[in-house]
């Protein structure tokens, strides 16, 4: 199945990825400079939150462009996809 990412969602997703890339580089710098462990962990947690925000944006796009729009023909398959994602996320 083709991706079909809405232009606005795509722009916002790339913006978030650039922020995340900067955060990861900052984390690497902190490790290189042997910063305080709790500060490193806080930065890592901030990156995880940024990834969650990115994932929510992509999920929103999927719901709007595939599910709500009716492009998904097999509703059972769509439910299985989303429940699999939910299970993976909550391990």
Q: 7-16, 25-34, 62-71: which range is least confident on average?
A: 62-71
Span 44-79, pLDDT tens digits: 999 999 999 999 999 999 888 887 777 777 778 888
pLDDT value at residue 64 = 87
Asked if 16 and 50 count as a contact pair (C-beta separation under 8 A), the reply is yes
Topology given in CATH for the domain delimited by 7-89: Methane Monooxygenase Hydroxylase; Chain G, domain 1 (1.20.58)
pLDDT value at residue 71 = 72
Q: 7-16, 18-27, 60-69: which range is least confident on average?
A: 60-69
Determine the Cα–Cα distance for residues 6 and 3; give it in Å rounded to an integer: 9
pTM: 0.82
**Domain boundaries, given as residue ranges, for the chain:** 7-89
């Amino acid at each position: 199945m083709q991706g079909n990412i809405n232009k606005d969602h795509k722009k916002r997703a790339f913006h978030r990825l650039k922020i995340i890339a900067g955060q990861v580089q900052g984390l690497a710098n902190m490790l290189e400079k042997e910063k305080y462990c709790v500060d490193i962990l806080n930065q890592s947690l901030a990156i995880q939150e940024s990834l969650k925000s990115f994932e929510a944006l992509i999920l929103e796009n999927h719901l709007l462009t595939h599910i709500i729009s009716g492009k998904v023909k097999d509703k059972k398959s769509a439910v299985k996809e989303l429940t699999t994602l939910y299970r993976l996320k909550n391990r």
